[in-house]
Amino acid sequence: MSDSNDKILEIRDLDITFKTTAGPVHAIRGINVDLKRGETVAIVGESGSGKSVTMRAAMGILAKNAVVNRGSIIFRYHHQDGSEAEVDILSKDKKWIRSHINGKRMAMVFQDPMTSLDPTMQIGRQIMEDMIWHYKTPKEEARKRAIELLTEVGIEEPEKRMKEYPHQLSGGMRQRVVIAIALACNPDLLICDEPTTALDVTIQAKIIELIRRIQKERGISVIYITHDLGVVAKVADYVNVMYAGRIVEKGTINEIYYDPRHPYTWGLLSAMPDLDTNDERLYTIPGSPPNLLHEKAGDAFAPRNKFALEIDDKADPPMFQISTTHFAATWLLDPRAPKVEMPAELRAKILRMKHEAGLDDTPAPEERATGIATDADVREEGSAAGAVTAADGKASGNTSGEVSEGVKADSAAETKAADSAKSGEGGSADTGNSGAAGAAENEEGESHA
């Protein structure tokens, strides 16, 4: 296998708008994604945050009304003779991508299996099709391989099933057929969009195991788009958290689960139902996702973020670096921001998780992380400017005079974040986990949106 620095996919500053009758929908707003050979990256985030659109762009199959405003999607692969190749998917036309990349080197398992299966064609033929088309595999050999693949994805009596049409299969079976199609040509990069949402836990485990085995054997890279944080915990090396067309936090799986920094990630982790709790209501992130038709200045998550600072209404936060692998786009990480802790319930939940994982002796997250604002920094105006520019490139553009004002600790604590920020300092931030509070906040969030 190639050396560990070898990036198979590099998405840079991807920015996409959809034209609709109601106006432009700015769905993807400057995204960077990196994937190394043999690794697994998970993309998580709210419905509508742009996960599928990002990956459809990587596959070169964006909808007709999509306009790519900026960016590049570099894909590196090997020709059959072993020589290396590098393409920017965005510079190639659909036909070229279809014959050289799609299904062959990069395969995608779609979220909605019915949309990628041909309802008029037996599933056996659908699995064989790409092998015959890309590699001119003899029919009998392709048939054998198709039966093998169906067996591998856990479909019983595969010979008989080969002759069935998609509507004759259960939802989860269809999804597994799509997985079989994706694996048929031994791709280098497998993109799984919600590959296991329709699958029960036992088959889910089987599919995950299968993908992992193939990954070990052939060193392929996998991108997992999923809502299921349990699945992410099982499969991912790295996690990208998306919100409203941006990546708001990225890090190793352990950084995201045991040391989350973005309030949206806090919300996601808080919303996971806990098998051991018997709460009457589940925690939900208040409000609804922003309407991308009406873009507004500042951090898109601000209206739903009880920890939002004044500056969040004015400028989108840059990516702040927490460790060599961990980044988050929240002004809370700016050294001038007031110190805000994650909600107490989540803190307790993470402590429980760490305890179960045998991580009890690890130092508290604050001490372990590098480059993060400490209590002292927050109050010290002097170090502020340096820290903001230390974050990635975009930061400098945002730190205009007016903007820097807003980050100041004093102004922030008095405004929106007043209550939570203060109680946060006291170490007992309220999550709004109780039914009544959650509902009330919901209302409030909606009026913002």
Partner 1 sequence: MHKIDYSSAPLLTVEGLKQYFRISRTFTVKAVDDVSFKIWPGETYGLVGESGSGKSTIGRSVIRLYDPTAGKIVFNGMDISGKMSHSTEGNLRVQMQMIFQDPMASLNPRKTIGDIIGEGLDIHHTYKTRAEREEAIKNILLKVGLSPEHATRYPHQFSGGQRQRVGIARALIMNPKLIIADECISALDVSIQAQVINLMKDIQDETGTAYLFIAHDLSMVKYISDRIGVLHLGHLLETGTTEEIFSHPVHPYTKSLLSAIPEPNPIVEKKRVAESYDYKTSGIHYEDGTSHLVEGTHYVKCTDEEFKKWV
Ligand X SMILES: Nc1ncnc2c1ncn2[C@@H]1O[C@H](COP(=O)(O)OP(=O)(O)OP(=O)(O)O)[C@@H](O)[C@H]1O
Binders of ligand X among residues 177 to 236 (CB under 6 A) are 198
Binding status of residue 52 toward Mg ion by CB under 5 A: yes
Tokens 């707003």 locate to 29
- Measured from the CB of residue 397, what is the shortest distance to partner 1 in angstroms? 29
Return the range that interacts with Mg ion (CB under 5 A); candidates 104-112, 323-331, 377-385, 398-406. Answer: 104-112
- Using the structure block, give the residue that is written with the tokens 């982790």: 269
Using CB under 6 A, pick the residue from 67, 84, 168, 435 that binds ligand X.
Answer: 168
For residue 289, give every residue at least 6 positions away whose Cβ sits within 8 Å of its Cβ, in sequence order, or none. Answer: 46, 47, 48, 49, 243, 244, 449
Q: Among ligand X, partner 1, Mg ion, none, what binds residue 201 when CB lies within 5 to 8 Å by partner kind? A: partner 1
Q: Which option in Mg ion, partner 1, ligand X, none does residue 160 bind, with CB closer than 5 to 8 A by kind? A: partner 1
Rule CB under 6 A: choose which of 23, 63, 218, 230 binds ligand X.
63
The residue (of 138 and 171) whose beta carbon lies closer to partner 1 is 171
- The whole-angstrom distance between residue 260's C-alpha and the CA centroid of its chain comes to 14
Look-up: residue for tokens 């993060």? 372
Q: 393, 344 in Cβ contact below 8 A?
A: no
**Binding of residue 330 to ligand X (CB under 6 A):** no
Residue 203 interacting entry, from Mg ion, partner 1, ligand X, none, C-beta within 5 to 8 Å by type: partner 1
| CB distance 287 to 445 below 8 Å | yes
List the single partner that 85 binds among partner 1, ligand X, Mg ion, none, CB under 5 to 8 Å by kind.
Answer: ligand X
Q: How far is the CB of 238 from ligand X (least distance, A)?
A: 18
Cβ of 9: how many Cβ atoms within 10 Å? 23
Answer whether 325's CB lies under 8 Å from 236's CB.
no
Select from 31, 35, 42, 50 the one that contacts ligand X (CB under 6 A): 50
Distance in Å, CB of 339 to partner 1, minimum:
25
Select 147 or 177, whichever has its Cβ closest to Mg ion: 177
Spell out a b/e string for 206-237, using b for 16 or more CB atoms within 10 Å of the CB, else e: bbbebbeebbeeeebbbbbbbebbebbbbbbb
Taking the C-alpha atoms of residue 362 and residue 232, their distance in angstroms, rounded to an integer, is: 22
25 forms part of the interface with ligand X (CB under 6 A): yes
Q: How far is the CB of 112 from Mg ion (least distance, A)?
A: 9
The one of Mg ion, ligand X, partner 1, none whose footprint includes residue 81, by CB under 5 to 8 A per kind, is: ligand X
* Strand pairing class (106-109; 84-88): unpaired
Binding interface with Mg ion (CB under 5 A): 52, 111, 170-171
